[in-house]
Amino acid sequence: MTRIRLSDMACSIARATDLFGDAWTALIMRDVITGVTRFEDLTNDLGISRKILAARLTRLVEEGVLVRERYQDHPPRDDYRATQKGEELYPVLLALMNWGDRWYAGPTGPPARIRHLDCGQDTHAVTACAHCGGPLTVHNTTQLPGPGECVGPGTRVIGPLIAGREADDAVSPQPE
Amino acid sequence: MTRIRLSDMACSIARATDLFGDAWTALIMRDVITGVTRFEDLTNDLGISRKILAARLTRLVEEGVLVRERYQDHPPRDDYRATQKGEELYPVLLALMNWGDRWYAGPTGPPARIRHLDCGQDTHAVTACAHCGGPLTVHNTTQLPGPGECVGPGTRVIGPLIAGREADDAVSPQPE
DNA sequence: GGTGAGCGTTCCCTCAGGGAACTCGGTTAG
DNA sequence: CTAACCGAGTTCCCTGAGGGAACGCTCACC
């Protein structure tokens, strides 16, 4: 939550960052997706201030990333579950985890493994092209303006579009 | 930069989040990778306070994510370039962008397209299994403790490891 | 009817962030 | 030679977000 409203920028990264670019939000989403869905458990697990946790949860519910659900009636108790929108943040978490594993794992290795149930293997995430399945890296991609307008400050869009790198037309020129 | 040192947690997500879970850092990395590498250009593009920008850049250089490089001598001028460690944050940016596009693109569509130079297609990122290439989602993955120790608060590791979901043995089918 | 769990809210205080002005080395203009 | 200029920070003051701890509220159990 910066002073300046990042969401005023048209760039999708800025939009996402406005929500997710908070130290706690990523950890909260990790926990909720993981099954730590109750207020008390979240405070204990994260060590976050109750005040901030309440504020973040409210925000995440407003954004439609979490829903508050009653999980028992006798003493009425609610918890927080990820919506589809929330679950789709999983790739972001995997990417962060992957990077953390690569660059910060100790000599004993990463603190967690991911098992892909479809193939049964312990694995890690790769970021691939939706068309050909090949890996997507800084060096084999270019960003082009999309159909949506992107005005205002911070509207740079990632990839070697600008400046010295000059990859201004990749295969075909502009968008219509 | 929270008050509490996230990097004290062993979880890779927490480690990564400690650096990246700052509203500006993601945007700075986007810009630098994109070719906006100079202090002045960054302030203009992001609208970030010069003070904070200087602090972030220093931090990112210390972390080995950026390097400061001289790009001209006559008036000595430096700029900032992504290291390999920095470039490997690209998947995180792509995941954020993808999510932002899916949930916040206006009626006109997303503000940018990504072209994969290897296949020539305009594409988007998918998060796939390094083994079988299938998509990785909340529902088809499980997290297991890894070899590295993971102690202290916030050491939950993402995936249905804990709590109500109880997927304590992996190969067996999904909960509920 | 006292205790305790679960889920917050309130209060106070510190420190990170925004804004704008100032510095400093080096360069071009007059 | 001095003045204006530019890029790249640094310093100063002020606001407001975050941490910590205490308080509140509702229901259940003994």
Q: Which of A13, A30, A153 sits opposite B45 (nearest CB)?
A: A153
Q: Which residue of B has its CA nearest to A11?
A: B111
A30: in domain: yes
Q: Which of B24, B161, B171 sits opposite A34 (nearest CB)?
A: B161
Of the candidates A3, A7, A2, A59, the one whose C-alpha atom is nearest the C-alpha of residue A28 is: A59
- Nearest nt to the CA of B53 via C1' is D9
Average pLDDT over residues A49-62: 93
A68: in domain: yes
Dihedral angle sign, alpha carbons of residues B103, B106, B107, B109: negative
Distance, CA of B79 to chain centre: 21
B94: in domain: no
For residue A134, what are its two tokens? 């090949």
Dihedral angle sign, alpha carbons of residues A162, A165, A169, A171: negative
A141: in domain: yes
Distance, CA of B80 to chain centre: 18
Nearest-angstrom CA–CA distance, A169 and B101: 22
On chain A, the residues whose CB falls within 8 A of the CB of B92 are 92, 95-96, 99
User: How many angstroms separate the CA of residue B117 from the nearest CA in chain A?
Assistant: 5
Pairing of strands A141-145, A121-123: unpaired
In terms of domains, do B83 and B132 share one?
no
Confidence of residue A164 (pLDDT cuts 50, 70, 90): very low
Residue located via tokens 């690569």: A102
Distance, CA of A150 to chain centre: 21
User: How many angstroms separate the CA of residue A125 from the nearest CA in chain B?
Assistant: 5
Model confidence pLDDT, tens digit, residues A63-76: 999 999 988 887 88
Asked if residue B2 has pLDDT above 70, the reply is: no
Which one of B37, B71, B87 terminates a domain? B87
Confidence of residue B83 (pLDDT cuts 50, 70, 90): very high
Confidence of residue A159 (pLDDT cuts 50, 70, 90): very low
In terms of domains, do A18 and A79 share one?
yes
B107: in domain: no
Dihedral angle sign, alpha carbons of residues B29, B35, B39, B40: negative
DSSP line for B78-146: EEEEE-HHHHTTHHHHHHHHHHHHHHH-BTTB-SEEEEETTTTEEE-EEEEETTT--B--STTEEEEE-
Those nucleotides of strand D lying less than 7 Å from any protein Cβ are: 6-12, 16-22, 26-29
On chain B, the residues whose CB falls within 8 A of the CB of A100 are 11-16
In terms of domains, do B82 and B142 share one?
no
- C1’ D6 / CA B75, Å: 9
B63: in domain: yes
**Which CATH number characterizes residue A41's domain?**
1.10.10.10
User: How many angstroms separate the CA of residue B3 from the nearest CA in chain A?
Assistant: 10
Residue located via tokens 């890296």: A137
Top-confidence residue, A95 or B171: A95
Q: Which residue of A has its CA nearest to B175?
A: A35
Average pLDDT over residues A40-48: 90
Instruction: Read off φ and ψ for residue B120, nearest 5 degrees.
Output: 80, 5
In terms of domains, do B80 and B28 share one?
yes
Confidence of residue A149 (pLDDT cuts 50, 70, 90): low
Which one of A68, A87, A106 terminates a domain? A87
In terms of domains, do B27 and B82 share one?
yes
Of the candidates A40, A75, A34, the one whose C-alpha atom is nearest the C-alpha of residue A57 is: A40
Nearest-angstrom CA–CA distance, A18 and B2: 16
Confidence of residue B157 (pLDDT cuts 50, 70, 90): very low
Average pLDDT over residues A55-64: 93
- C1’ D27 / CA A72, Å: 12
Nearest-angstrom CA–CA distance, A52 and A56: 6
Model confidence pLDDT, tens digit, residues B123-152: 999 999 999 999 999 999 998 877 765 444
On chain A, the residues whose CB falls within 8 A of the CB of B82 are 138
Which protein residue has its CA closest to C1' of D16? A3
* Number of residues assigned to chain B: 176
Instruction: Read off φ and ψ for residue A82, nearest 5 degrees.
Output: -80, 135
Cβ atoms of residues A115 and A122 within 8 Å: yes
Nearest-angstrom CA–CA distance, A69 and A67: 6
pTM for this predicted structure: 0.83
- The percentage of chain A sitting over the pLDDT mark of 70, rounded to a whole number, equals 78
Judge whether residue B131 contacts strand D, using its CB and a 7 Å cut-off. no
At B163, which helix (H) or strand (E)? none
Asked if residue B108 has pLDDT above 50, the reply is: yes
Domain count, chain A: 2
Judge whether residue A175 contacts strand D, using its CB and a 7 Å cut-off. no
Q: Which residues contact A71 (CB under 8 A, 6 or more apart)?
A: A37, A77, A78, A79
In terms of domains, do A20 and A71 share one?
yes
A29: in domain: yes
Q: Which of B85, B88, B153 sits opposite A45 (nearest CB)?
A: B153
Average pLDDT over residues B141-170: 49
Average pLDDT over residues A6-28: 76
Q: Is B153 helix (H, G, I), strand (E, B) or coil?
A: coil
In terms of domains, do A17 and A83 share one?
yes
| Helix segments in chain A, DSSP class H | 12-20, 23-34, 39-46, 50-62, 84-87, 90-104
Judge whether residue B57 contacts strand D, using its CB and a 7 Å cut-off. yes
Q: Which pLDDT value is given to residue B52?
A: 92
Judge whether residue B139 contacts strand D, using its CB and a 7 Å cut-off. no
Q: Which domain holds residue B157?
A: 126-170
In terms of domains, do B19 and B69 share one?
yes
Cβ atoms of residues A78 and B106 within 8 Å: no
Nearest-angstrom CA–CA distance, A104 and A97: 10
Which one of A87, A105, A138 terminates a domain? A87
Average pLDDT over residues A25-49: 91
Which protein residue has its CA closest to C1' of D10? B51
